[in-house]
């Protein structure tokens, strides 16, 4: 699979994260730093979600994924431990033309979302930026 590297301005845009486990938790910090509105849909969430939920930095819908949950989303993360749920989320996102990262299906997903990306100024020349993922 060939990938095209892209950075997305998420300021004020809705990102829907389906799943409340550790992998999903690792994705939200960067989204929040980018100014995204983050909605998490999961019956239960990892302890890492407690502070962002309590401080209302993210919206949590404590239930299973349902049709229509992607309304208004710019980006979707299908990050549950249930492959069938992730596949349903991915299919709905595809049908709506929304970029979706299905974390359990690298060959089948259309995007890869790194939990951490750091920018190093000056590596690629004067005024240019180079990125390192890690």
Report the C-alpha gap between 61 and 125 in whole angstroms.
Answer: 45
- Euclidean distance between CA atoms 38 and 34, whole angstroms: 11
Nearest to 77 by CA among 29, 18, 6: 18
44 found inside a domain = yes
Q: What is the pTM of this model?
A: 0.79
Evaluate whether residue 67 is within a structural domain. yes
Q: What is the pLDDT of residue 24?
A: 86
Q: What is the pLDDT of residues 60-94, one digit of tens each?
A: 999 999 989 999 999 999 988 888 999 899 999 99
2 belongs to a structural domain: no
Which two three-digit tokens encode residue 104? 């359990």
Residue 42 lies in a domain: yes
Query: Is 125 part of any domain?
Result: yes
In the chain, how many domains are there?
Answer: 1
CATH number reported for the structural domain that contains residue 72 in this entry: 3.40.50.720
Domain containing 66 equals 14-133
Q: Is residue 40 part of a domain?
A: yes
d(C-alpha 64, C-alpha 18), whole Å: 8
- Tell me, yes or no, whether 7 lies in a domain: no
């Amino acid at each position: 699979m060939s990938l095209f590297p892209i950075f997305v301005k998420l300021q004020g845009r809705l990102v829907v994260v389906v799943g409340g486990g550790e992998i999903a938790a690792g994705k939200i910090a960067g989204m929040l730093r980018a100014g995204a509105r983050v909605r998490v849909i999961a019956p239960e969430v990892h302890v890492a979600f407690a502070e962002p939920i309590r401080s209302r930095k993210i919206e949590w819908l404590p239930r299973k994924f349902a049709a229509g949950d992607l309304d208004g989303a710019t980006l979707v993360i299908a990050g549950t431990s249930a492959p069938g749920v992730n596949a349903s989320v991915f299919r709905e996102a595809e049908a709506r033309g929304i970029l979706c990262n299905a974390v359990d299906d690298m060959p089948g997903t259309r995007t890869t979302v790194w939990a951490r990306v750091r920018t190093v100024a000056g590596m690629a020349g004067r005024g240019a930026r180079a990125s390192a993922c890690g």
